[in-house]
Amino acid sequence: MSIDVVDESGEAVDVVDFTRLARFVLERMRIHPQAELSLKFVDVDEMANLNKLWMESEGPTDVLAFPMDELRPGRSGEDPPEGVVGDVVLAPVVAARQAGEAGHSTVDEMHLLTIHGILHLLGYDHAEPDAHREMFALQTRLLAEWQGVRRGEDVEA
């Protein structure tokens, strides 16, 4: 997989950690091994600009997802298509604020937001109650599995 992680946020982002997380999520979702994904960490001003331009919303948000080839999770026994998954843009400062409110670390919040953004790229949404339950259950499962991997646990797919 080709995963490009760029940190333009001015914060201390562990690019290697987020590259591994993105690869982990894409593998768990059975995305083609040659798929491409971009993660970009930006400052608050850039996130506010992107949020206004693309979402017509004022102020910075935590994460934005820009799908490209509309790739979807693969199914067992099927060959997934190659392509570009898309771009996920995160604002670490916004994530830090949310982490404080949620009572966990900024890194944990950024991991959650990365997974959330990738799921959006793969067609998941949370506008309707059933879709919300499905997406957030999957997000919670993937985050727990990732945390297990980081602790060195053997986590089954």
Catalogue all structural domains in the chain, each as residue range(s) with its CATH number: 2-150 (3.40.390.30)
Residue 156's pLDDT band, with cuts at 50, 70 and 90, is low
Q: How much is the pLDDT for 105?
A: 94
Residue 42 contacts by C-beta under 8 Å, 6 or more apart in sequence? 8, 9, 50, 89, 90, 91
Q: Whole-prediction pTM value?
A: 0.93
**Sign of the torsion formed by the C-alpha atoms of 63, 69, 75 and 81:** negative
pLDDT tens, position by position, 19-40: 999 999 999 999 999 999 999 9
The residue among 24 and 150 whose pLDDT is bigger is 24
Contact 108, 97 (CB under 8 A): no
- Residue 155's pLDDT band (cuts 50, 70, 90): low
| Tokens standing for residue 22 | 């993105």
